[in-house]
């Protein structure tokens, strides 16, 4: 509306200002819940609508390239996630002949190359943890090239592990709002619940569910570890759901996951579940004022442990200095305990001999002459990558806790607080469980740190957008006040 009409016709100008105020109020409400890309578009449209006759636009509200051009990249990211977490090629007969993992990883890599320069976030926006992960992979490649054990095996093991950086980088670039954030976590949590159910159905008579499902779930300890890392997300989705059917489905999923973990008889997995569960209940039950969760968890835990925890009790009994061997399972547990002690001693000797670059990824199983991994992730990464890689490894996961600390210091919505607590529980579960399991190359922990980085970036961008919009709204209000007082309008700064 031109300035001349506003000054000549007060009734017309007041009507126009009223319409603008109504339009602006609706835009504010829509922008708060929208993605960062949509918020920038609406901010631009709003400032154009309320522009004065001088046709000057605000420099701090830059237009964004129309439409979300990262849909394809996000699709291939979710496809790779699904193949890695759900393992369809190992469950559905016939799919094993298709190279699904290689296909989706190649498409994800191509999408990453095409996303650079088009995404809202730039490579310059990458947080420190991304550079820590890149440095870890670089040093592992160097360790493989100079490995004193098996260079070829270490190189290809590192090459396979390096895919996590592609996922990490692509995820940070394309997960730009909380809707995508929750969707990607859903793709991790729900397949683990499905895998647990399949393991119970197919391997209810198999000792410790060993090799019932292949891939990253073939080892009972690995399956238990994946369950622990995904359990807090399942609880968060259950509490976030508004439909009774969805809540019931998540409750059943968590029940199946706990039963599967107990049947694996994984001592490290059980201890990890207890510690992670305490942290999860602290955030979601105590601080979230859902104290009924504590009583329900305690009752179900005691009942399930009594019904399905027989093998687990035997394995714990075998950890004493003078265990009484009363069954084949307990005898196996006692041997496993002694074997792990020997592996820890051997790994410390190897670290002392090769402190800088280590033995190369996955080479300790050859070096030890026992064909077993050391069941401590921190020793595993140190003996195979060297002490510098161990330092970077610790710094990487420390950044996950730093992101969560920054998030908790901000004003968060109920849903964001819910998933922040779940992330903290999952991350604590890994840090504790890593002291009892060889999980240095499992993707899940690295992706958990990605989730903290993405959520922190989304919350920070949302606060920045709201602050910018507040400044735009304040400037427009001052313009109208000066027009009403008969003064010249303020110029944009």
* Residues 287-325 pLDDT 10s: 999 999 999 999 999 999 999 888 888 888 876 655 554
Q: Can you say how many angstroms the Cα of residue 465 is from the centroid of all Cα atoms in its chain?
A: 24
Confirm whether 250 is domain-assigned: yes
Residue-wise pLDDT tens digits, 373-431: 999 999 999 999 999 999 999 999 999 999 999 999 988 889 999 999 999 999 999 99
* Cα 367 to Cα 364: distance, rounded to the nearest angstrom: 5
Tell whether 469 is covered by a domain: no
- For residue 486, tell me if it sits in a domain: no
Report pTM: 0.80
In a domain, 300, yes or no: yes
Of the candidates 120, 243, 135, which has an alpha carbon nearest to the alpha carbon of residue 172? 120
Residue 309 pLDDT = 87
Among the residues of 212-291, which ranges form H helices? 220-240, 244-264, 267-281
What is the average pLDDT value for the chain, to the nearest integer?
A: 82
* Whole-number Å distance between alpha carbons of 206 and 60: 63
Is residue 430 assigned to a domain? yes
Give the domain range for residue 290: 71-462
The residue with greater pLDDT, 229 or 24, is 229
- Does residue 344 sit within a domain? yes
CB 437 within 8 A of CB 380: no
The Cα–Cα gap between 410 and 286 comes to 19
The 10s digit of each residue's pLDDT in 32-50 is 444 455 555 555 554 444 4
What is the pLDDT at residue 295?
95
- The verdict on residue 62 lying in a domain is no
Q: What is the pLDDT, as a whole number, of residue 314?
A: 84
Is 190 a member of any domain? Answer: yes
How many Å apart are CA 463 and CA 409, to the nearest integer?
A: 13
Give me the number of domains the chain comprises. Answer: 1
Are 26 and 469 in contact by the 8 Å Cβ rule? The answer is no
At 276, is the secondary structure helix, strand, or coil? helix
Taking the CA of residue 301 as centre, how many other CA atoms within 13 Å lie in the half-sphere pointing to its CB? 12
Q: Which tokens hold the place of 413?
A: 């919505």
| Token code pair at residue 345 | 């001693």
**Residue of 481, 230, 237, 272 whose CA lies nearest to 375:** 272
> According to the model, what pLDDT value does residue 491 have?
52
Q: Is the pLDDT of residue 282 over 90?
A: yes
Q: Which of 40-54, 112-126, 360-374 has the highest mean pLDDT?
A: 360-374
């Amino acid at each position: 509306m031109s300035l001349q009409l506003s000054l000549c016709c007060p009734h017309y100008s007041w009507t126009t200002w009223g319409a603008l105020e109504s339009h602006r109020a609706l835009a504010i409400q829509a922008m708060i819940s929208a993605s960062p890309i949509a918020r920038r578009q609406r901010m631009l449209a709003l400032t154009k609508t309320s522009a004065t006759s001088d046709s000057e636009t605000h420099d701090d509200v830059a237009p964004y390239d129309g439409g979300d051009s990262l849909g394809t990249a996000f699709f291939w990211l979710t496809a790779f996630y699904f193949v890695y977490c759900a393992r369809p090629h190992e469950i559905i007969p016939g799919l094993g002949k298709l190279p699904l993992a290689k296909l989706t990883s190649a498409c994800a890599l191509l999408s990453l190359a095409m996303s650079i320069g088009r995404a809202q976030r730039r490579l310059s926006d990458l947080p420190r943890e991304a550079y820590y992960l890149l440095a870890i992979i670089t040093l592992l490649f160097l360790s493989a090239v100079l490995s004193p054990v098996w260079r070829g095996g270490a190189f290809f093991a590192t090459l396979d592990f390096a895919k996590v950086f592609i996922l990490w980088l692509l995820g940070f670039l394309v997960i730009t709002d909380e809707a995508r954030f929750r969707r990607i976590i859903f793709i991790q949590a729900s397949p683990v619940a499905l895998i647990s159910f399949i393991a119970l159905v197919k391997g209810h008579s198999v000792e410790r569910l060993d090799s019932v499902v292949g891939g990253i779930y073939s080892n009972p300890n690995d399956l238990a570890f994946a369950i622990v890392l995904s359990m807090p997300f399942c609880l968060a989705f259950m509490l976030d759901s508004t439909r009774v059917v969805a809540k019931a489905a998540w409750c059943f999923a968590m029940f199946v996951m706990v039963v599967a973990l107990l049947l694996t008889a994984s001592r490290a997995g059980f201890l990890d579940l207890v510690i992670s569960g305490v942290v999860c209940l602290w955030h979601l039950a105590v601080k979230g004022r859902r104290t009924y969760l504590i009583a329900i968890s305690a009752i179900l835990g005691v009942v399930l442990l009594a019904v399905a925890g027989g093998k687990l009790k035997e394995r714990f009994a075998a950890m004493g200095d003078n265990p009484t061997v009363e069954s084949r399972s307990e005898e196996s547990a006692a041997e496993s305990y002694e074997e792990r002690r020997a592996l820890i001693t051997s790994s410390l000797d190897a670290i002392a001999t090769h402190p800088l670059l280590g033995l190369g990824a996955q080479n300790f199983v050859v070096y030890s002459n026992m064909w077993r991994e050391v069941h401590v992730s921190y020793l595993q990464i140190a003996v195979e990558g060297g002490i510098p890689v161990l330092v970077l490894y610790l710094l990487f996961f420390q950044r996950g806790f730093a992101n969560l600390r920054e998030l908790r210091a901000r004003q968060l919505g109920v849903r964001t607080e819910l998933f922040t607590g779940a992330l903290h529980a999952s991350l604590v579960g890994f840090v504790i469980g890593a002291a009892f399991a060889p999980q240095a190359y499992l993707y899940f922990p690295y992706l958990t740190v990605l989730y903290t980085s993405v959520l922190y970036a989304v919350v920070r961008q949302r606060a920045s957008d709201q602050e910018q919009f507040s400044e735009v709204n304040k400037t427009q209000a001052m313009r109208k006040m000066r027009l009403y007082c008969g003064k010249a309008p303020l110029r944009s700064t």
